[in-house]
Amino acid sequence: MNRFPQFVSHLAALAFCHLALEAELEAESRIWTDHQGRTLEAEFVGLEGDTVLFKSSTGATVRVELAKLSAEDQKIAASSTPAPQHITIDGEVAAAAARLDGLIQQQLQKEGLKPNPLTTDEQFLRRVYLDIAGRIPNLQEANAFLENSAPDKRAQLIDTLLDSPGYVSHLYNYMADMFRVRDPDNSRLMKADPWVEWIKQSLRDDKPYDVFAREMLTADGKLWANGATGYLLRDSGMTLDNLANTFSIFLATDVACAQCHDHPFADWTQMQFFEMAAFFGATVTQVNDSQFKNGDPMERIVGGLMELAESSGADPEQVEKARDLLGDVIAANRFEVRDIGQNYVRLPGDYKYKDGKPGEEVKPKFIRWDGEDRYNEAYRQNRNTEEKLRESFAAWMTHPTNPRFAMSIANRMWKRAFGMGVGEPIRNIDDPNATSNPALIKQLAREMLRLKFSLKNFMRVVYNTRAYQGQAIQEAIPMGAPCYFQGPLVRRMTAEQTWDSFMTLVLGNPDAYRGDDGGLLGRSIDLDLDNVTPQIVASKLDGFKRAEEMAAARRGGGLDMASSGASAAPSPAQGKVLEYGGYKLLRAAELEQPAPEGHFLREFGQGDRNLIDGNHTEGSQPQ
């Protein structure tokens, strides 16, 4: 988009042109005048509430508040009919954003409300950095934007931030809270790091969300060999709990109550819950002794290892330490997702309904939201092969015609930008027609499908809407009351945004610092427990020790805040992790998951990852 003439920049400041809309209009250009006598030669495109859209001679779209035009031109604009438009590929974002804005405007008019005025450049700059990159801009970034006179600089900045490492880091923080990413409690060596990195790489690649979800539900193997297994391993041994979480996260449906009895507030029955759980009934997430070819691996390995140690003259005390470590290594290697060909899901012993008997085998069956679902393409999945049940479930859940999957993630992403979902609570959209704007939430789902589940492209549309770029809603919305999105809600920074903003002040470019070990720890302890030998175990234990030493060597790069160099951004030195006051100076996404108790992040609202969406922004005494 070319630069506007100087006299247009004053109009653009009133209503910033943030959409790159290219349209072929049959209408002819005319001279438009504002109330100060300034003129603009442009074609009339249409009205968005109290804002007039023009197409300038450069082909760019500019927005001007109707009240800023001269009285005569206000009448002309109000009575004009926009000519038919042909949206080019370059204008898809603009057209999609305009559709969302139109639905918001319709609802606002119905409620007798007006959209908030547009943000200033300073307001927009801070908002978009926090929302996309998860941090405030540094001085150089702020000056570059504020000194830029291009009319589409907001759209340019949105694109730049969506392609930045900060986008991945900030969206990962959201995903980690949603998926409850953390190290397992019952294994000292079982770390979530491979799952963490798998999520981050998926976000870097802008992996379609349906593929992203499907890979986690169908993953096989050990965590360090396949990071996607982290989702099922997160609830290892708890198939029913994992199913309830899956419905809440991916389908915005609360079925947890039906785990113990028919749901008191919805149509789901306990039988339906167990029928859905049966799709995961042939899958184990922790291998027991009977599932190994040669029985208990601990018994087989320890004896041979002791003999090897004695023959080599090893120190008895060191041998005992190695034996303890071996127990931890074997325990970590038991965590594995595999299908066993036999479905173990049965009705509970206290089952009391007439459609089944306690302890009875349950056949997998998909739930339906309404009677029309019997004709839905999503339901045509093979359910006859035990080893393929997870694939059938994942195909059903992520199918484009599933009435909840696209809507659930679209509503979640909308809430990330606006502070409230169209449907609340976001984990339980019981009836889309009962949301604050039924037409909007359905359009968001259609947009997610149109973009083939690209979260980056979906958010590009959302951030380019007039609604997002409106000034924040300052008034508190009572619990249970709808939001009509005159603008985003004013809200506190999250713990991660606050921490990462401090890291920006200290480091300048916090994305240059990484905290992971590249999967070295996992590879160092990986064992094939069916075919392992004492010699392999000894080598693995030695490799684990070296991996720990390498990890320790990366830590301890101090930062002297009192030195003259503290005002300038430090640079990463040989992969060192800088520390100050006992804190690792890394972005929140690079730290331990979650941060330990007492850490700044936990004090300012990072959750313990035991509950879905467990973060909070409430004030507290420790803060």
Separation of alpha carbons 133 and 192, rounded Å = 23
Look at residue 572 and tell me whether its pLDDT is greater than 90.
no
How far is it, in rounded angstroms, from Cα 524 to Cα 521? 5
Q: And the tokens for 169?
A: 């880091």
Q: Is residue 540 a contact partner of residue 333, using CB atoms and an 8 Å limit?
A: no
> What's the confidence (pLDDT) of residue 10?
33
- Picking from 245, 239, 249, 247, the residue whose alpha carbon sits closest to that of residue 268 is 247
Say if residue 571's pLDDT is above 60. no
Which of these ranges, 392-401, 470-479, 515-524, 576-585, has the smallest mean pLDDT?
Answer: 515-524
- CA distance linking residue 568 with residue 298, whole number of Å: 54
Average pLDDT over residues 370-380: 79
Instruction: Give all strands of the β-sheet with 578-580 in edge-to-edge order.
Output: 557-558, 578-580, 583-584
CA distance 605 to 550: 32
Question: Distance between CA atoms of 170 and 132, rounded to whole angstroms?
Answer: 7
CA distance 202 to 172: 10
Res 191: pLDDT? 84
The 10 Å Cβ neighbour count of residue 324 is 8
pTM above 0.75, yes or no: yes
Confidence of residue 206 (pLDDT cuts 50, 70, 90): very high
Say what the pLDDT of residue 517 is: 65
Q: Which amino acid is at 128?
A: V
Half-sphere exposure (Cβ direction) of 165: Cα atoms closer than 13 Å: 10
Give percent of the chain with pLDDT exceeding 90: 52
Q: What is the mean pLDDT of residues 423-427?
A: 95
Determine how many CB atoms are found less than 10 A away from the CB of residue 366: 19
Query: What six digits make up the tokens of 609?
Result: 């990852």
For the residues 31-59, what does the mean pLDDT come to? 77
Instruction: Give SS3 for 84.
Output: coil
Predicted confidence band of residue 48 (pLDDT cuts 50, 70, 90): low
Q: How many CB atoms lie within 10 A of CB 487?
A: 21
Count CB-CB contacts under 10 A for residue 484.
19
Mean pLDDT over each residue of the chain, to the nearest integer: 84
> Which residue has better confidence, 605 or 319?
605
Alpha-carbon gap, residue 14 to 85, rounded angstroms:
25
- Segment 279-296, tens digit of pLDDT: 999 999 988 766 676 667
Query: What is the C-alpha to C-alpha distance for residues 256 and 245, in angstroms, rounded to an integer?
Result: 8
Residue range 29-47: mean pLDDT, rounded: 82
As a whole number, mean pLDDT of residues 299-328 equals 71
Question: Which residue has 């250009």 as its token pair?
Answer: 29
Write down the pLDDT at residue 36. 83
pLDDT at 245 over 90: yes
Q: What is the largest CA-CA distance in the chain?
A: 101
Instruction: Evaluate if residue 560 carries a pLDDT over 70.
Output: no
Which pLDDT does position 309 carry in this prediction? 67
Give the separation between CA 12 and CA 148, rounded to whole angstroms: 13
Average pLDDT over residues 47-52: 74
Average pLDDT over residues 461-488: 92
Between 249-263, 321-335, 358-372, the lowest mean confidence (pLDDT) is in 321-335
pLDDT(90) > 50: no
Where are the alpha helices (H) located in 286-358, listed in sequence order?
297-311, 316-333
| Contact between 132 and 125 (Cβ < 8 Å) | no
